[in-house]
Amino acid sequence: MAKTIFITGASSGMGKATAKLFQAKGWNVIATMRNPAKETELTELENVTVLPLDVTNPEQ
């Protein structure tokens, strides 16, 4: 059974690199970002779910 990781700030930088690394190692990745509609790379990868999340918004 594959492990799952939840990553915030996955739209760029360390967050995106971390999401790609764990996906390549066979993990299920929940990748969150403020504007997932703009994401094109992570949405094409298997076992990656991209979701909207703004950690500065208490309602989310």
Write down the domain spans for the chain: 4-52
CB-count exposure of residue 36 (10 Å: 0-12, 13-18, 19+): middle
Unique residue bearing structure tokens 């500065």: 56
pLDDT digits (tens, 9 = 90+) for 23-53: 999 999 999 999 999 999 999 999 999 999 9
Position 60 pLDDT exceeds 90: no
Report the predicted TM-score, pTM, of the whole model to 2 decimal places: 0.91
- Integer-rounded Cα Rg, in Å, for the chain is 11
| Residue 1: predicted pLDDT | 82
At 2, is the pLDDT very low, low, confident or very high (cuts 50, 70, 90)? confident
H/E stretch holding 49 reads strand 48-52
| Residue 52: predicted pLDDT | 97
